Amino acid sequence: MKRRLCFVFIAIVFLLAGCEEKTGAVSAAAQTDQAAAQQSTETAGETASLTELPDTDADQNDIVKTGAEGSLYLLLSTDTVNGLLHVRNIETGEEADAFYSGATVFSDKYGTMVSLAQIHCGDAVTLAFFDSGILSDVQLTDQTWSEKDASDYTIDLDRMIFTLHGSNYRLKNDVPVYTDGKDTGLYSIQEGDRLNVTGLDRDILSMTIVTGTGTIELRNIGVFLDGWLNLDNAEYLKITENMEIPAAEGTHVLTVANDGWGDSTVVAVKRGQSVSVDLSALKGEGPKYCELRVLPDAEGATVYLDGKKMDPEQAEQVRYGLHALTITAEGYEDWQSRLLVNSPSAEIEISLSPEGSSQGKTNAGAASSQTAAGAATPQPAGEGAAGSLAGSLANSGGAGAGTRREAEQAAAETALETLTGMLDTLTGTPSASEE
């Protein structure tokens, strides 16, 4: 009897041991997702305790409580160090953090897998979760609309209305406006900024500033005072003391010329910032001269430079700077314009118009291949960049304040429109606003 009881006791002990082993295995499996996420959040000090992972399925991430799976969320920020996304439920307005791991799948609105880097702050997404509360899927939604590089808009902050292409949309105070990945708020939008806009029906969800305007400030003007400045071969301004020039964010070619001196440089403009250009560095060795030929297409035409007759058959030495160019011929309209000389050589072909017609235009081939030679490959000051805008012509309205935003507008035009604008400038053809 004792032997039988001993056998039963031993069997029970083995049974209990087996249960403990099975229970331990289940616990380890249940903690796998949690451990993976915790590994990415283990940082020193307070950082690791800012947002704690759930211990059980019943105590899931706060994000699950803000709406059912399938709800739309606005991605407000990402924390790649701690492996979490900060999002806002678009319907309820509640915000919370959601953890992701190496098992989380990110995809575009078509379901194609992408990286987290391809999903940006301000995008609308749908979320799905593992039982542990860790994100299993993050997908860009197809329920929202977007406008890229928008410039045709107005913002009424008193009425909280955003007008895009003539249509009105609602704004809220908490609409994020991103600049370089940071939410800088509605009041950070400046005149001239271009925006990427995301919306849902008539509500604006988010905006991202993709480009803006800055200022070019001229220092040490010296010999260039009362000379001429050219920006991107599209804008001509007379140089004055303490001169500041509004310019679109990005890279620009700036050229100056006056009384035998001149050169070009590349200027990088940042949004909302002022960049200084030291004109003394553009003086170079001088005075400098250009070998200039002007070739009118009318037989017997007479060419005058600064009132002095030129020989069309011969190249003349013309000092760098601004000059007056006039061409007359019997039976043709007089042709006149201002010539900004800033290159070692230039040859300009002029097509005159018969009397009673509009002013002639330069030959397109000559203008593009010779008078603007080297404009596409400017060099730093002091390295031979003086010829980057050879023979460019400025019409009489070129220095007006109204032309100061032409550089920004030209950046968005097609190559053909840019060339047409350059030819109009070369020939002195009046713009629509001047007519």
- What gap in Å lies between CA 262 and CA 231, rounded to an integer? 14
Centre a 10 Å sphere on the Cβ of residue 415 and count the other Cβ atoms it contains: 7
The amino acid occupying position 244 is E
Please state the pTM of the whole predicted model.
0.48
- What gap in Å lies between CA 426 and CA 359, rounded to an integer? 12
Domain with residues 145-211, CATH architecture: Beta Barrel (2.40)
Regarding beta strands 135-140 and 124-129, do their DSSP bridges make them parallel or antiparallel, or are they unpaired? Answer: antiparallel
> 192 is written with which tokens?
């001239």
pLDDT tens, 303-326? 999 999 998 778 889 988 888 899
> 360 is written with which tokens?
């002639």
Contacts of residue 133, Cβ cutoff 8 Å, sequence gap at least 6: 53, 54, 57, 60, 61, 64, 99
Q: Which residue numbers in the chain have pLDDT < 50?
A: 1-67, 359-435
Centre a 10 Å sphere on the Cβ of residue 295 and count the other Cβ atoms it contains: 17
- What gap in Å lies between CA 192 and CA 214, rounded to an integer? 10
For residue 322, the model assigns a pLDDT of: 81
- What gap in Å lies between CA 349 and CA 365, rounded to an integer? 9
- What gap in Å lies between CA 411 and CA 387, rounded to an integer? 22
Domain with CATH 2.40.50.320 in the chain: 64-140, 145-211
> 233 is written with which tokens?
């071969």
pLDDT tens, 270-288? 887 899 999 999 887 778 8
**Closest of 237, 290, 258 to residue 401, by C-alpha:** 237
DSSP 8-state secondary structure symbol assigned to residue 315: -
> 313 is written with which tokens?
């058959």
The amino acid occupying position 303 is V
Q: Which residues sit opposite 113 in a β-bridge? A: 107
CA angle at 76 for the pair 75 and 78, rounded to the nearest 5°: 85
- DSSP secondary structure of 91-117: TT--EEEEE--TT-EEE-TTS-B--GG
Contacts of residue 16, Cβ cutoff 8 Å, sequence gap at least 6: none
Class of domain 64-140: mainly beta
Burial class (CB in 10 A: 0-12, 13-18, 19+), 331: exposed
- What gap in Å lies between CA 46 and CA 34, rounded to an integer? 19
- What gap in Å lies between CA 180 and CA 412, rounded to an integer? 21
Side-chain-side CA neighbours of residue 407 (13 Å): 26
